[in-house]
Structure 1
Amino acid sequence: MTPVRRVAVVGTGVVGLGWTALFLARGLDVTATDPSPGAEQQLRAGVAALWPRLDAVAGASPDRLSFVPTAAAAAEHADFVQENGPEREDVKHRLFAELDEAARPEVVLASSSSGLLPTDLARGAPRHPERVLVGHPFNPPQVIPLVEVVPGERTSERAVSDALAFYTALGKRPIRLRAEIPGHIANRLQAALWQEAYSLVERGVASVADVDAAIAHGPGLRWAVLGPFANQHLSGGPGGLAHVLEHLGPPTERYWRDLGRVTLTPELTQTLVDGVHDELGDTDPAELAARRDAVLAELLDAKSRTDLP
């Protein structure tokens, strides 16, 4: 793999901002682009706001950020491309066509798409579809280590290995999917939880605040340390997961049959929105996100000093 010294960030919304801040903090040069009015000013202000909370390496600086008017100009001299455009296939195809023409043939074109399939995205890059893949971060990218690397039907092994190596060098925790599936892994798991959470509120079983408390002060604490399978294994004592599945498998299956199926009607949507407002009151979302990220940083620091998987 050619050493990555300059990254193109295409699309500088919330996810693009997080990627930009992380790349800069790791001492890389970043060439960014976004067609939205005022995008450059917003990006630079966002990086400046995040910078004090980033673990920057020696030589890292926000001054290593440049902003250009087009995706082609961003990709022209890049060693890696991270695309963060809108979740619309037609928009992605236009972007990837431009990136495919401008970037050197060996440069990976990674999309932050949270649900689109890389095989579909690669149709926008007919010259070199073998270097197109999904590199989906978990928000906020400058804090959360997870990156889901998803190859498409025509993605080369070299592109996959280059992407895994690049994200690992950033300090991320990349995982490779063995098959394409809408929503990848983490978002599908979240969707399953949200389905039942919304159903519990709709059925009047619990308030929005109660559901949040049940996760944040219950299983969410364990999930932040180990995943669902490992935690379930530990809950089985000496018998481990086999014991859990033998004794708690049947009641769990009964829970599955009783899980709610919901439709986001206008009424349910308003109930959920009102519930969040009741829970958080006048709390400033930006301030709450900063406090959350500070706790996450402490947690990640603590985990880094252990040999947890």
Structure 2
Amino acid sequence: MAAKTPLEVAQYTAQTGMKKAQYPVSSVLVLSFLAGAFIALGFLLDIRVIASVPAEWGSLVNLIGAAVFPVGLIMVLIGGGELLTGNMMAVPLATIARKLSVGSMVKNLSLVTIGNFLGAIFVAYAFGHVLGLTGEGVYLAKVVDMAGHKLHDGFLQAFISGIGCNWLVALAVWLSYASDTMSGKVLGIWFPTMAFVAIGFQHVVANMFLIPAAIFEGHYSWGQYVMNFIPVWLGNLTGGALFVAAAYWVVYLRQAEPKVKPEVVTSIEPVEAEGRVMLSKQA
């Protein structure tokens, strides 16, 4: 089977969210560190590609950057990683479906937030600042400009932008779960992710790389970053948990899962009876 039905995706996602919350703390931290680093590398690639593109190209510049950014999420979902925005959909769905406690959900999202931040800031400092990939020339100018646009949004704007972002990113995760093939997963991830980047929505983990990268070069402050982090985190949670998880739970999982159909049971009984007869004859 090439793809799951929406009902099967909902069931699979709820099960996946439950499993995510049951991972050992050490595993969650390692996988979330990797995910934060992967998203940061995707953003770094975006910056390195578009920084020197002529301004006359207009919005086409955003499309080019958006087209390469999904590499990060592909590495997370296929290579392995715990990404906060994806967990903000899968783990709440498991909680709504009563497979997890609220405490387990909060613990998982908190640990993944920490791990993602460590991974993203490692890339921002080691590759961006120390190696100079975001600290010189047009690359520095692009980082400062992009970070400034993120920080310019007020609380409400950043919150709503966060909703839009994770509505799309959570759907990218959802579509990747729907496919049973590598190519299908890549395509499912690529287009919704490209859309959120091209639109300019705010992604809390991407910002964990972008804004600190600018701070390491002497621009902006950690206080400004915190005031951006809070509304974007809350907006991403709302987008993933409400607009994807809760919406699909209402449609597909609110009713109790159907019991085994009677005809399935009766179709098994003759086989079992026949087996008993055959065994008795052999005896």
TM-score normalised per structure 1: 0.24
User: Max radius of gyration: which structure?
Assistant: 2
Determine which structure has the larger strand proportion and give its number.
Answer: 1
Determine which structure has the larger helix proportion and give its number.
Answer: 2
Which gives a bigger RCO, structure 1 or 2 (Cα 8 Å, sep 6+)?
2
